[in-house]
């Protein structure tokens, strides 16, 4: 009987155990040179697994000297290339080939290795691995009490993010560059520990990227060709909180316990969203609720009473189907990013499961905006009724989300009543936003604008009026709002008859669609104080604006505005509000062609209207 063990079986001492038990009496044990090389490398790095494996080889030599087995070393030592890709399965493949060549029983304590070997047609004997206590990883030396993450890269100096939540700084933490060999050694140690310790596991193993969870550390190992160099990023939480540490704690706890809710926890990266989600999970688990998590990767630091699930078969949808059979009261979904994530979140919420989702957003309202277009508008309050915005580790804003059938704020006609999603400040009850369908478009209108500013409804109304009139006019169109229900439209003299229509039928149709009375006049009749659309207010805005020259490319309309990167600005045409945007890091605004905003902007450019950008 021939037996070929892999590294895991040697490290665990399984061969000598089998010989002592009589299972391998008189067998020929063929130890691959690749196994010896791997054990030697681990021992040189000070890893306990390497020394355990070498001790097992000595026991096998003693058994061979006693005539209980025959011991041979076969194969060739792996070269640098195979060693560099050991965790990618290169050495495992060499060992399997030796087992096939010698018609041997393949002995392993690695479940994946056993499955692959069986699929290859080998006779496999799998023995469950021993778990062992592991001390410290070498990369832990880079951490101190203020370190949230360590970033190691070949041919670069070690970096780390250190500080307090909301005040993190990315800084050098070493004077010497790391070699590729050092990075490979770190990576091999992390993978071995994840496989051998009961405190760790491999979360993701794809070509070029491996993610390991070990104790409190989430460690990502990237390598070529996926990355241009070996890189290891290790992240751990530096703070663990409970609900009492946050503002509105009592009110939020009461809200969560009242009934299953749909909650979005929003904030920018590093703001403390996941830390708050962990506090919510542990509060709910301690309040007679069955709580599960859906994470990829699993890195929420929750207690053993909360089971953490990841993708099943590579799909969160399958995880959700399984969770519905488990029947949790609440599920923490970290993180909700893609359309599929939002759809899974919505399906589970509509099935009656309380859902708490973690999303990236720079404003509280943006968390809800990400649902628009992904789920039916009228269902949003049933899916999400609470938004919690986290900034610098604190609860900055809480929104209550409901739906009402009403006339949107700023409109007057009763026949304009429609379902409106109302977003109110949780603390004060003050309405902050309304979301509804206006003229076949979904709009989010901010309420409580500063006195003297043109409100969101007014800007929207002017934009819709101009769009309707421009569809039948050939020249320039200006709009002057006279009140909530009245507007004056100024057009070219040749366009008067086109806009009014025979017997006033065309303008009447437009008035009925918009729910507003419209007076049509020529530009010559425009009062000097009403220059452009919106009157004196527009003139003031235009005078404050920076005149820009947009560039139209094959895919974008690009508006250059140097010196304002990261700022939120208004884009106007002849002083008329078009849209609000954030200036990119390159000092420009890029609007995708084909979108409604881009079409409006291109029309303004074609008509040679002056494009201005107004900064705050």
- Give the CATH number, domain containing residue 93: 3.40.50.1010
Burial letters for 123-134: b for 16+ Cβ neighbours within 10 Å, e otherwise? ebbbbebeeeeb
**Position 132 in a domain:** no
Beta strands in 439-491 (DSSP E): 441-446, 478-481, 486-491
Last residue of a domain, one of 537, 554, 578: 537
Reduced DSSP (H G I as helix, E B as strand, rest coil) percent helix, strand, coil of the chain, to 5: 35, 30, 35
Residues 269 and 378 both lie in one domain: yes
CA distance 411 to 167: 44
Domain that holds residue 204: 138-235
pLDDT, tens digit, for every residue of 22-50? Answer: 888 889 999 999 899 888 888 887 677 78
* DSSP reduced 3-state for 444: strand
Tell how strand 262-267 and strand 354-360 pair up: parallel
Judging by beta carbons within 10 Å of its beta carbon (0-12, 13-18, 19+), is residue 501 exposed, middle or buried?
A: middle
Same domain, yes or no, for 268 and 220? Answer: no
Rg (CA), the chain: 33
Cα distances from 77 to residues 37, 180, 223, 476, in angstroms, run 6, 21, 23, 80
The reply to whether 357 and 429 lie within a common domain is yes
Q: Are residues 119 and 150 in the same domain?
A: no
Whether residue 92 sits in one domain with residue 198: no
Which two structure tokens, joined as six digits, stand for 414?
Answer: 């009763």
Is 211 within the bounds of a domain?
Answer: yes
Region 125-147: mean pLDDT is 82
Residue 363 forms part of a structural domain? yes
Neighbouring-strand partners of residue 386? 263, 400
**Domain stop point among 235, 256, 285:** 235
**384 and 418, same structural domain?**
yes
Q: Does the pLDDT value for residue 85 go beyond 70?
A: no
Average pLDDT for residues 506-520, to the nearest whole number?
A: 84
The whole-model pTM stands at 0.56
Q: Are 394 and 433 found together in one domain?
A: yes
**What pLDDT does 537 receive?**
40
10 Å Cβ neighbour count for 504?
A: 11
- 328 and 182 assigned to the same domain: no
- As a residue count, the chain comes to 616
Residues 382-412 pLDDT 10s: 999 999 999 888 899 999 999 998 888 766 6
Rounded to 5 degrees, φ, ψ at 397 are: -145, 140
351 and 423, same domain (yes or no): yes
Same domain, 294 and 406: yes
168 inside domain: yes
Higher pLDDT, 482 or 444: 444
Boundary residue ending a domain (493, 509, 537): 537
Q: Quick one: 352 and 460 in the same domain?
A: no
- C-alpha of 596 from chain center: 27
Q: What pLDDT does 530 receive?
A: 41
Question: How many domains are contained in the chain?
Answer: 5
Mean pLDDT taken over the chain = 84
Q: Which token pair is 260?
A: 């299953």
Answer yes or no: is 400 within a domain. Answer: yes
**Do 34 and 92 fall into the same domain?**
yes
């Amino acid at each position: 009987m021939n037996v070929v063990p892999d590294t895991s079986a040697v490290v665990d001492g399984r061969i000598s155990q089998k010989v002592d038990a009589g299972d391998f009496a008189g067998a020929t044990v063929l130890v691959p040179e690749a196994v010896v090389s791997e054990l030697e490398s681990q021992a040189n790095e000070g890893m306990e697994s390497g020394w355990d494996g070498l001790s097992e080889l000595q026991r096998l030599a003693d058994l061979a000297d006693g005539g209980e087995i025959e011991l041979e070393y076969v194969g060739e030592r792996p070269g640098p290339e195979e060693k560099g890709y050991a965790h990618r399965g290169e050495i495992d493949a060499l060992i399997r080939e030796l087992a096939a060549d010698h018609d041997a029983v393949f002995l392993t304590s690695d479940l994946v290795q056993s499955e692959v070997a069986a699929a290859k047609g080998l006779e496999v004997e799998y023995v469950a691995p021993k778990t062992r206590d592991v001390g410290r990883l070498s990369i832990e030396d880079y951490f101190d009490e203020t370190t949230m993450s360590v970033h190691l890269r070949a041919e670069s100096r070690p970096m780390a993010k250190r500080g307090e939540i909301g005040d993190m700084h990315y800084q050098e933490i070493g004077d010497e560059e790391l070699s590729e060999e050092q990075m490979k050694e770190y990576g091999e140690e992390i993978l071995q520990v994840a496989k051998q310790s009961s405190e760790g596991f491999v979360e993701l193993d794809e070509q070029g990227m491996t993610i390991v969870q070990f104790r409190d550390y989430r460690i990502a190992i990237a390598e070529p060709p996926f990355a241009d160099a070996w890189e290891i990023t290790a992240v751990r939480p530096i703070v663990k909180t409970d609900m009492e540490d946050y503002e509105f704690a009592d009110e939020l706890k009461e809200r969560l316990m009242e009934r299953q809710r749909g909650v979005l926890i929003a904030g920018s990266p590093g703001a403390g969203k996941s830390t708050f989600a962990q506090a919510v999970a542990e509060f709910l688990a301690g309040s007679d609720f069955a709580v599960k998590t859906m994470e990829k990767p699993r890195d929420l630091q929750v207690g053993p009473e909360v089971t953490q699930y990841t993708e099943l078969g590579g799909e969160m949808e399958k995880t959700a189907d399984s969770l519905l059979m488990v029947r949790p009261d609440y599920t923490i979904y970290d993180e909700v990013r893609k359309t599929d994530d939002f759809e899974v979140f919505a399906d589970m919420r509509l099935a009656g499961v309380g859902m708490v989702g973690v999303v990236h957003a720079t404003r509280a309202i943006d968390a809800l905006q990400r649902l628009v277009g992904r789920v039916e508008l009228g269902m949003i309050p049933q899916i999400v009724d609470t938004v919690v915005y986290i900034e610098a580790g604190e609860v900055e804003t809480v929104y209550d989300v409901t739906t009402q059938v009403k006339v949107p704020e700023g409109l007057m006609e009763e026949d304009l009543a429609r379902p409106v999603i109302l977003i109110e400040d949780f603390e004060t009850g003050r309405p902050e936003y309304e979301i509804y369908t206006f003229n076949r478009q979904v709009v989010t209108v901010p309420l409580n604008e500063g006195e003297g500013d043109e409100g969101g409804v007014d800007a929207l109304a002017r934009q819709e009026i101009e769009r309707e009139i421009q569809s039948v006019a050939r020249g320039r169109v200006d709009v002057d709002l006279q009140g909530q229900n009245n507007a004056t439209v100024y057009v070219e003299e040749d366009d008067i008859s086109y806009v009014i229509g025979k017997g006033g039928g065309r303008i009447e149709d437009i008035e009925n669609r918009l729910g507003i009375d419209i007076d049509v006049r020529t530009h010559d009749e425009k009062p000097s104080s009403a220059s452009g659309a919106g009157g004196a207010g527009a003139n003031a805005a235009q005078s404050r604006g920076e005149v820009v020259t947009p560039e139209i490319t094959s895919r974008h309309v690009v508006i250059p505005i140097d010196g304002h990167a990261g700022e939120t600005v208004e884009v106007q045409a002849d002083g008329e509000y078009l849209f609000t945007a954030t200036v990119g890091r390159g000092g420009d605004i890029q609007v995708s062609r084909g979108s409604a905003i881009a079409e409006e902007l291109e029309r303004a450019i074609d008509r040679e209207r002056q494009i201005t950008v107004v900064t705050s």
